[in-house]
Amino acid sequence: MTETTPVHLVSLGCARNDVDSEELAARLEAGGFRLVDEAENAEAVLVNTCGFIEAAKLDSINTLMAAADLKEQGSARAVVAVGCMAERYGTELAEELPEADAVLGFDSYADIDERLRAILDGARPAAHVPRDRRTLLPLSPVDRQAAAQQQAAPPKESPEVTGSIANTGARVLRRRLGSGPMAPLKLASGCDRRCAFCAIPAFRGAYLSRRPEEIVAEARWLVDHGVREVFLVSENSSSYGKDLGDLRSLEKLLGELSAVEGLDWIRVSYLQPAETRPDLVKAICSTDKVVPYFDLSFQHASNPVLRRMRRFGDPDSFLGLIDQVRGLAPTAGIRSNVILGFPGETEQDVQVLSDFLSAARLDAIGVFGYSDEEGTEAAGMGDKVDPDEVEARRAAVADLAAELVDQRAEERIGESVRVLVEEIDEEGRLLGRAAHQGPEVDGCSELVGSSAAVGTFVSGTVVASEGVDLIVEVTR
């Protein structure tokens, strides 16, 4: 094997996984591997899997099988599973998919280059044995930073592993796998919440914030690599700083990021409504470069359902939060996800949710049907809703949500917007996103009357809508 052994990395799932993939890419490149864009040109294929919902798990398995086919054809020598599904299922995944040469958990990331080199040399490491990662850090959030520092492994040197803040020594461990003007930037890992339907805390671990200087250094590095917008991601962004001894850490961080030269937009994802305090709302709405965008995880609106979910809220409190946002930023983007068919949900609960969505005027709504996730509290609950009824409720609310977000898009006709140009599609249309549109899931803005380059910003007026998408006539 030469120092330029080609490896292909497939990133599945959420933006948090994309950041992990770029860390893996940096470690592999620093360890002497060469990243290639096509699996057919690689000697090793790493699949960063998603293990959140059934559709994502199936996608992960199909991707691993496709990589195994390349191995059968002789173009690849090794197939390795990493990521959430590998961490969550480990040995079970290895038994079900013997075609994979290794199933590695998160603890393998620090020396992934050495592990991959050994696999290519014929080693077959034991599959990762899953465990509850919440036990790996102290129970008290304020004790976690020191413990995490002791566990951390220093990165190898690499031309791509660069970036620092003066006088801090903060370093960046990342290698971009794309070239778009937006990039996710991880705030934290793990989650301390105990939502009854969610398995993520068990395999992602307890909540651990990244140090502010590390985040700012990475933002500067991303700007140097063509990024104009950073999308702050974590399992729960509103908890940022709880282990740093300052609950206003996120507000302060937004101010520090706003000072990064060359960065134009800062967007925060995944806020828990119960933790979205007034000062944070004000900071998002008023800090320079931070777009007024609120990804609020409501999940439902019926108080009895939310209590069984081990969450908090009701229509009045949620609508009060939305009113607070729009009082400060009338054109703010607000999105959410909801779950239908949770154990014990009644038709009256569904009506409460439907009424709330109608009143909320959200810009984007993800609608999901409940299904049992092994290892969760909800999986052992009684009073289950029949699967056919779950799907019927999901479909009905999804239809309502589609109608509501279309109406919200229509309300924006005549609005002045600033748009980040992201691509020219196959039809030659210039596409981008306005400030209220999050990456990939919130629709896009088609620009007319402009030939602006990808990565630039243009201003215009919304002249029409097509579903959730907007048509924007560029003025400058």
User: pLDDT value at position 72?
Assistant: 83
Structural domain includes residue 149: no
Looking at beta carbons, which pairs linking 387-392 to residues 24 or more positions away fall under 8 Å? 387/341, 389/341, 390/340, 390/341, 391/341
Domain count, the chain: 3
Question: Has residue 18 got a pLDDT over 50?
Answer: yes
What are 31-70's pLDDT values in tens digits?
Answer: 999 999 999 999 999 999 987 777 778 888 888 988 888 8
One domain for residues 184 and 322: yes
Select, from the ranges 88-92, 192-196, 292-296, the one with the highest average predicted confidence (pLDDT): 292-296
One domain for residues 66 and 200: no
Q: Is 285 annotated as a binding residue?
A: no
One domain for residues 401 and 417: no
Mean pLDDT across 395-417? 98
Mean pLDDT across 123-140? 87
One domain for residues 292 and 185: yes
Q: Give the pair of three-digit tokens for residue 376.
A: 């969760």
Which of 88-102, 318-332, 359-373 is predicted least confidently?
Answer: 88-102
One domain for residues 76 and 107: yes
End residue of a domain, out of 129, 149, 182 = 129
Amino acid at 132: D
Structural domain includes residue 144: no
Measure the CA–CA gap between 215 and 185, rounded to whole angstroms.
Answer: 7
One domain for residues 282 and 193: yes
Question: Has residue 187 got a pLDDT over 80?
Answer: yes
Structural domain includes residue 138: no
Structural domain includes residue 125: yes
| Residue 217 neighbours by CB distance under 10 Å | 22
- Band of residue 266 on the pLDDT scale cut at 50, 70, 90: very high
DSSP line for 280-293: HHHHHHHSTTB--E
What are 352-368's pLDDT values in tens digits?
Answer: 999 999 999 999 999 99
Mean pLDDT across 20-33? 94
pTM, whole model, 2 decimals? Answer: 0.91
Mean pLDDT across 443-455? 93
User: Computed from CA positions of residues 314, 315, 321, 325, in that sequence, does the dihedral angle turn out positive or negative?
Assistant: positive
Amino acid at 312: F
Measure the CA–CA gap between 469 and 430, rounded to whole angstroms.
Answer: 13
One domain for residues 237 and 312: yes
Measure the CA–CA gap between 111 and 30, rounded to whole angstroms.
Answer: 11
Measure the CA–CA gap between 79 and 70, rounded to whole angstroms.
Answer: 9
Question: Has residue 161 got a pLDDT over 60?
Answer: no
End residue of a domain, out of 370, 394, 409 = 409
CATH (domain of 26): 3.40.50.12160
Amino acid at 84: C
What are 268-291's pLDDT values in tens digits?
Answer: 999 999 999 999 999 999 999 999
To 10 degrees, the CA torsion angle through 426, 36, 100, 110?
Answer: -120
One domain for residues 405 and 420: no
Residue 434: which of 424, 425, 422, 426 has the closest Cα?
422
What are 363-384's pLDDT values in tens digits?
Answer: 999 999 999 998 899 999 999 9
Q: How far is CA 63 from CA 97, 155, 409, in A?
A: 12, 29, 35
Measure the CA–CA gap between 263 and 267, rounded to whole angstroms.
Answer: 11
One domain for residues 332 and 422: no
One domain for residues 122 and 173: no
User: pLDDT value at position 339?
Assistant: 98
User: pLDDT value at position 358?
Assistant: 98
Question: Has residue 170 got a pLDDT over 90?
Answer: no
Mean pLDDT across 12-23? 91
Question: Has residue 137 got a pLDDT over 90?
Answer: no
One domain for residues 232 and 293: yes
Please calculate the CA angle 165-166-170 and round it to the nearest 5 degrees: 40
Order of strands, sheet of 229-233, starting from the edge strand that comes earlier in the sequence? 182-186, 229-233, 265-268
| Residue 383 neighbours by CB distance under 10 Å | 10
CA 328 to chain centre: 26
* Domain with 371 in it: 161-409
Q: Is 191 annotated as a binding residue?
A: yes
Residue 336: which of 316, 320, 318 has the closest Cα?
318
Mean pLDDT across 84-109? 91
- Band of residue 3 on the pLDDT scale cut at 50, 70, 90: low
Question: Has residue 167 got a pLDDT over 50?
Answer: no
- Band of residue 155 on the pLDDT scale cut at 50, 70, 90: low
Structural domain includes residue 150: no
Q: How far is CA 89 from CA 96, 107, 119, 127, 221, in A?
A: 10, 14, 20, 10, 34
Q: pLDDT above 70 covers what percent of the chain? A: 95
- 417 - beta bridge partners? 460
User: Using an 8 Å Cβ cutoff, are 130 and 179 in contact?
Assistant: no
One domain for residues 402 and 418: no
- Band of residue 332 on the pLDDT scale cut at 50, 70, 90: very high
End residue of a domain, out of 365, 381, 409 = 409
Structural domain includes residue 139: no
Mean pLDDT of the chain: 91
Structural domain includes residue 141: no
Measure the CA–CA gap between 262 and 223, rounded to whole angstroms.
Answer: 6
Structural domain includes residue 151: no
Q: Which residues, in sequence order, are CB contacts of 107 under 8 Å at separation 6+?
A: 128
